[in-house]
Amino acid sequence: MPIPVETTVLNEATYAVGDYSFLPVSIPVGYTVAYAKLSRALWLDPLTHVQWDISVSQDSGATWVPLASGTSVGGISIDPRTGIPRPFYTVGAGISQPDNPNRQLKGTIHITGGPITTTIYAGLY
């Protein structure tokens, strides 16, 4: 099993209402799960809303297919296991063709309801 990797794809900033995409990230051979996430620590307004859409390419970015999407709202979200706020909003999915060296991941967040301050990451395991 490959070592989990995670990288910052959009630095911490205040993002106004709109769409923000991160550039394609190569997926090395062996990884079977891809995800994108954003920090919640400074995303405190429950009236703000984020939708994640992540896509995967099997041919070095020539074509893309949707992989997963999800929605979440701002504010404190308590993890019932720990009783503390969840630090991230994450969406991920299993990815096929683990032996394919030409896979890539990209994603877009759609922000509505107001600006949010966050950092955006992409990861593999």
Partner 1 sequence: MRRHIPLILAVLIIMPTLTWAAIGIGTPCTGFGAAASSLSINTCTANGSNTLVIAGFRFYTNGQAVTAVTYGGVTMTLLRAEAFTAPDFEARQYVLINPPSGTQTFTVSFDGAVDIDAIVVPFTGVNQSAATGTPNGAHGGATGASIDLASAAGEVVLDFLYAFDTTGLTIGAGQTQQASIGNVRASTEAGAATTTMSWTWTNSDTYLMLGVPIKPAAVVTRRRGGPLWLD
Structure tokens at 61: 């970015």
Residues 46, 72: Cα–Cα separation, whole Å: 9
Query: Are 90 and 34 within 8 A, CB to CB?
Result: no
Query: Are 36 and 56 within 8 A, CB to CB?
Result: no
Q: Which is nearer to partner 1, 63 or 80 (CB)?
A: 80
Return the residue matching tokens 């063709």.
Answer: 97
Q: Which of residues 88-107 bind partner 1 (CB under 8 A)?
A: 88-94, 96
> Does residue 81 belong to the site contacting partner 1 (CB under 8 A)?
yes
The 36-55 site mask, x for binding partner 1 (CB under 8 A), equals -x--x---------------
The site for partner 1 (CB under 8 A) is made up of 33, 35, 37, 40, 65-73, 77-81, 86, 88-94, 96
